[in-house]
Amino acid sequence: MATVKASGPVRLMTVLPALLFLVLLSALPLANLLALSFAKVSWVEGQAQWDWVGLSNYTALAEDALFKAGILNTLILVVVATTLQVGIGLALALICSRLGRGAKAYRTLFLLPILIPGIIIGAIWKLMYNTQFGIINQTLGLVGLGPVDWLGSSSLALGSVIAVDVWHWTPFSFLLLLAAVEALPRDVFEAAQIDGAGAWRTFRRITLPLLWPAIFTTFVFRAIIAFKVFDEVYLLTGGGPGTSTQVISFTIYQRFFVQDSAGYGAAMSVVVMFLVALVIGVAMTRQKARTQ
């Protein structure tokens, strides 16, 4: 592939800008964050003063109820929301490809939630969940139910947030899976039909195994994005009531910016990055072992 001859300086100039961003705005801030996680920052006459505290930021994490709630809620959200999104997305993709014509119009429509700012999704659903005038409670009221305090009750709030995430991101799963479904080889299905295999059998024995890599990729992609969830929670519940919708990005934000404990927030960030890398690493290795 490599054919273009460019003189040394030109070649260097092509990657230099990207390298500057990588070093100055990625590596350096992250290194700074790592250093910060071993320090306690206090403000003396407008100047930040770092006091080294060793590992105490990290040991404090173990006792932080907010951190534990954040990790737990995030895991629940990632597993439940992602599973639903991939399941519904797959069903819609299969239906769409089967119907063929007209499917394109649906695809356009399903793109909309992906492109809308997360914070607006939060705003829309905050209004829809409203106990006084939200459309959900109004509809329930028509059949004599409710009103239900979807965001204010600690047993319902996380479920309500998950519902919004499913609504927001199922289209993305659908889009990825539709591409995979449309790339399936036709002849295998014709052969199955000639052999008289029923719809369910064909799905179990042929469609699902062939789609498995795409399903896995979609799951990982969605899980990564779900893990970062912040916008909707910020607007819908602010982590409450209590800690019932506290998610990890929100916990970090509160500790780092709201409480202004930069060192402690940094330690939390480092742990989260490490955890994410670990989980993805394990998942990738297992998937590789499975396909080989």
Cis peptide before 241 (omega within 30 of 0): yes
Q: What backbone phi and psi angles, to 5 degrees, belong to 51?
A: -115, 125
Q: How far is the CB of 72 from another protein (least distance, A)?
A: 16
The one-letter amino acid at 122: G
* Near another protein in 100-159, by CB under 8 A: 106-120, 122-128, 130, 132-133, 135, 138
Question: Measured from the CB atom, is 158 or 180 closer to another protein?
Answer: 180
**Helices 157-182 & 208-227, crossing angle to 10 degrees?**
140
List the interface residues with another protein, window 14-33 (CB under 8 A): 14-15, 17-19, 21-22, 25-26, 28-30, 32-33
> Does 197 contact another protein by CB under 8 A?
no
Q: Which CB sits closer to another protein, 134 or 158?
A: 134
Instruction: Name which position in 66, 206, 210, 224 contacts another protein (CB under 8 A).
Output: 224
Q: How many residues bind another protein (CB under 8 A)?
A: 92
Confirm or reject binding of residue 84 to another protein (CB under 8 A): no
Which residue type occupies 198? G
Answer yes or no: are the C-beta atoms of 43 and 262 closer than 8 Å.
no
Q: Out of 55, 179, 191, 208, name the contact with another protein by CB under 8 A.
A: 179
- Report helix, strand or coil for 44: strand
Element containing residue 186 per DSSP (H, E):
helix 186-194
Considering only residues 44 to 73 of the shown chain, the ones binding another protein according to CB under 8 A are 48
Tell me whether residue 106 or residue 212 sits nearer to another protein (CB atom): 106
Both tokens assigned to 139:
């509809």
Helix (H) or strand (E) run with residue 42 in it: strand 39-44
Q: How far apart are CA 224 and CA 247, in angstroms?
A: 14
Nearer to another protein among residue 70 and residue 192 (C-beta): 70
Q: What character string, x for contact with another protein (CB under 8 A) and - otherwise, covers 249-278?
A: xx-xx--xx----x--xx--xx-xx--xx-
Residue 162 neighbours by CB under 8 Å, 6+ apart? 76, 77, 80, 81, 84
Residues 87-106 binding another protein (CB under 8 A) are 88, 91-92, 95-96, 98-99, 106
Dihedral sign for Cα 278, 280, 285, 290, please.
Answer: positive
Residue pair 244/107 in contact by the 8 Å Cβ criterion: no
Minimum CB separation of residue 238 from another protein in Å reads 8
Site membership for another protein, residue 167 (CB under 8 A): yes
Judge if the upstream peptide bond of residue 113 is cis by omega within 30 degrees of 0. Answer: no
Binds another protein by CB under 8 A, chosen from 81, 90, 162, 176: 176
Select 244 or 254, whichever has its Cβ closest to another protein: 254
* Residue 201 interacts with another protein (CB under 8 A): yes or no: no
